[in-house]
Chains A and B, each alone.
Chain A
Amino acid sequence: MDELLAQFLVEARELIAAAGEDLAQLDRAPGDAARLDRAFRAIHTLKGSVAIFDMAPAGAALHAAEDLLGAARGGRRPLDGTAIAAILDCVDQLDRWVDCMARDGRLPPQAAADAERLVALIGGSKAAAVAYPSSDWAARLLAQVGGAPASARVALRYRPDPDCFFRGDDPLAVLAAVPGLISLTAAPVEPWPPLAELQPFLCNLRFEGLSDAPADAVRAALRFVADQVEIEELGGAPAAAPVDAGAVPEASRSFRVDVALLAALANDVGELIVVGNALAHVAAEADTLDRALAARLAAVRTTLDASVARLRASVGAARMTPIGPSLRRLPRLVREAASALGRDLELTMSGEGTEIDKGIADALFEPLLHLLRNAVDHGIEPAAVRLAAGKPARGSLRLAARRAGDSVVVEVADDGAGIDPAALRRAAVARGLLDAEAAARLDDQAAVELIFAPGFSTASAVSEISGRGVGMDAVRAAIERLGGRVEIASSVGQGTVIRLRLPLTAVTTRVLTVQVGDDRYAVAVESIVETASVASERIVNVGTGQAVVLRNRTLPYLSLAELLGKRGGAAAADTRLLVARAGGEPVAFGVDGFGAQLDVMLRPPAGLLAAAPGIAGTSLLGDGSVLVALDIDELVG
C-alpha cells in the first residue's frame, strides 16, 4: 500500500475515534468548550487529510461538519443533540469510508450520495461551503511582497507550536519540503526579548509564504503540521478555515513501529538465546583443553546472557501498548448494531489507557465485538420492555479495562435482561448437550456458564447481528488462546457482566517443534544446545544404554520415541539429534524430524496430562490443535 495512504489510515482512525469520543461527551455536557475545540480540530485535521486523496465526498461532508462546529465554537449557534447526532453520523460514515479506502483504495460509488445526505442532515449547503471570506493575512501577505507573482497559487501561514523543538520538529525543514515556495517571511509571535533572555528552545516564530504549486501538493507537504497551518488558494475559493494559532497537539516522544519489526526482534532474541546456549556448550568443551580460555568464555557468556535478558525485557516492554486503539472502532459498530435492532443504549468506555501486550490487544477486537453485539442483541431489552420493568428506557453498556496485578481485566457489562439459568438448562437439554437429570444438578452459575458450551445459542431466533457463525465458545477459545480466562456473572432482570482476565504480557515460550512418529512435540529453545544429524551407525551401545559421538564428545543417546512409549520411525541411515540439557548435562535425543520454531503460551498440564511425567505444558495453536511441550529434565530423570 502507498505509504502516504497507510499513514493516513492510521491517523484518520485515531482522529475519528477521538472525535467520536468528544462528540459523545459533548452530547452529555454541551457546554464543554475544551471538548468542542478538540472535536473541531479533529474534524479540521481530517478534512485536511482527506483532501490529499481522492475522497472529495468525504471532504464535503467534513466541511459541513466543520462549519457547524465552527459556528458553535464562535458562539453563533449552540450545538443541540440533533446537530451532534448529525456530526456523529458524518464521523461514522467517514469511518466506513476509511475502511473502504483500506480495502479498495477508493470510496464506494454511492459515496457522493451519502455525502449529500450528510451535508443536508448537518444543515450545511453548497453555498455555505464557499462562504469563508478571504482572510486578511493572505491579503496582507500579498501586499507585503509587493503584489503576488502571477504564478502564486497558494498562500500559507505556519505557526509552529512553541514546544515543537522539543519534539524534534524543525519548521525550516518542513518549509524546505514545501513545493514551489516562491516567497517566505518569518516574524516573531511575541516581540523578541533582549538577546540574553531569549529562550532558544521555545519556538516564537510565525512563517508566511507563497507557493506556485497546487494547493493539494502544498497541503501534502504540510500534512504533519496541518493543525498549525492555514492554507489559502489564491484566485479561487479559499480552501481551509483558519484554525487557532494556539492549537497545540499533544506532545509525543514516541513514533510508530511496524509490529512485524517487533516480532522480528523477538525472533532474533530467541536466536540469541540459542547462541548463548551453544556458547555454554563450547565453553564446557574448551574446559578440557584450556582452563583459562574456558573461564574467559564462561565470563563472556555470563555477560551475553545478562544482555540478552535485558534485551528480551525491552522487547517485551516495547510490545506494551494502550488497549484504546484496539477498541476505537467498537463504538461505531455498537451504534450500528443498536440501530439495526432498534435498541436505545449508551456505550461508555473506560480504561483505554490500560497497557497490554500488542499481540493481545490486537486479538481482542473480534471477541469484544462479539460480546458487545451479544449484549445489544440479547442483553439490552427494547425500550418498552425496559420501561415496563421499571428501568430507564435507554440501556447502558459498559466496556471497561483496568490493570489488576499481573493481569488486565476487560469487562463488558450491560443492565439488560440477564441470563435465566432455567432457560439455559432447558435449552441445553433440548440441544442434547445434557440429559435432564444432569441439567437439574447444575447450580445456577454452572447453568449460566453453559453459554460457553460449543454450539450453544440461547436466542430463540437467530438474529442478523449476533447469531451468525461464532458463538460464545469461540470467544472463550480466543481468550484462552491468549492465555486468558472468561468469567460471567449474570442476574435475571439486572444484567450481565462478562469479565476477560488477560495476562499483562504475552508470557510466551519459544519452542522448537520436533516430530516423533506421527506426533509433534515442543521443546523449549532455552534447553536446546544444538540440533544435528548423524549416521545411525554412530549410535553405539554402551553398557545398558546408548551413546553417540558428536564433535569428539560422547553424549548419552536416548530415543525420544521410546521415552514417550511410542514405536519409533523405521531405522533410517541418518538419525536426527536434538541435543538438549538434561540435569545440566547435554543429552542427544533421537527424533524423526524438526519443525518450526514457535512462540507459544504454555499452560500447565491439566487432567490426565498432569499425571504424565515429562510434560511441561500444553499450548493451543492458532489452528485449534494442541501442542504438548516436553520437560526434558523430567523426561530423563
Chain B
Amino acid sequence: MSVMFADGAIRLVGDCPVEDAETLLQLLVEHRAPLDLSDCGHIHAALLQILLAARPPVQGTPVDCFVREQVLPLLKHGEPAR
C-alpha cells in the first residue's frame, strides 16, 4: 500500500501510482487529517490533482527530488484554506 492512514495522518509512502488516486480521495473525504510526505517518492499527477482540490495541511519532506522541489511548493502554496 503506498497510501495509508496511520497515526492520525494520511501517509504517502514510496512511488504512488495512478491506482492510488481513489484510495487517497476516499481517505481525504473521510478524514480531516494532515498529509505526511516524509517517505513520499514520485506521485502521479492524478494524486496531485486530488491534493490540490483537497488542500490538506502538509508535513514532512518528500524523498523524491522533483516532488520535493517542484511539487511540494504547489501543495504548501496558499495553505491552509481553513
Contacts and interface: CB of A to CB of B under 8 A. Distances in A.
A192 B45 CA distance: 15
Interface in A182-211: 184-186, 188, 192-193, 195-196, 198, 200-201, 203-205
A165 interface: yes
Given A165-B46, A172-B44, A188-B49, 6 more contacts: A172-B48, A172-B66, A184-B71, A188-B53, A195-B54, A200-B49
B70 A175 contact: yes
B50 A200 contact: yes
Nearest to A204: B49
B48 A196 contact: no
Interface residues of B, number: 23
Interface in A481-498: none
A542 B44 CA distance: 75
Contact of B49 (A176, A185, A205): A205
A195 B53 contact: yes
Given A172-B71, A184-B70, A201-B21, A196 B49 contact: no
B43 A172 contact: yes
Contacts of B18: 165, 168, 170, 201
A173 interface: yes
Interface in A120-151: none
B36 to A, nearest CB: 19
Contacts of B49: 188, 198, 200, 203-205
A195 B53 CA distance: 7
A561 interface: no
Given A176-B66, A192-B53, A186 B46 contact: no
Interface of B: 18, 21-22, 24-25, 28-29, 42-46, 48-50, 52-54, 66, 70-71, 73-74
Interface residues of A, number: 24
A160 interface: yes
A406 B64 CA distance: 54
Contacts of B22: 200
A205 B48 contact: yes
Contacts of A193: 53
B10 to A, nearest CB: 13
A323 to B, nearest CB: 34
A184 B48 CA distance: 13
A269 interface: no
Contacts of A429: none
A181 interface: yes
Nearest to A196: B29
A156 to B, nearest CB: 13
A193 B18 CA distance: 20
A188 B71 contact: no
Nearest to B71: A172
12 contacts: A160-B45, A172-B42, A173-B45, A176-B66, A184-B71, A186-B52, A195-B28, A196-B29, A200-B25, A200-B50, A204-B49, A205-B52
A276 interface: no
A171 interface: yes
A195 to B, nearest CB: 5
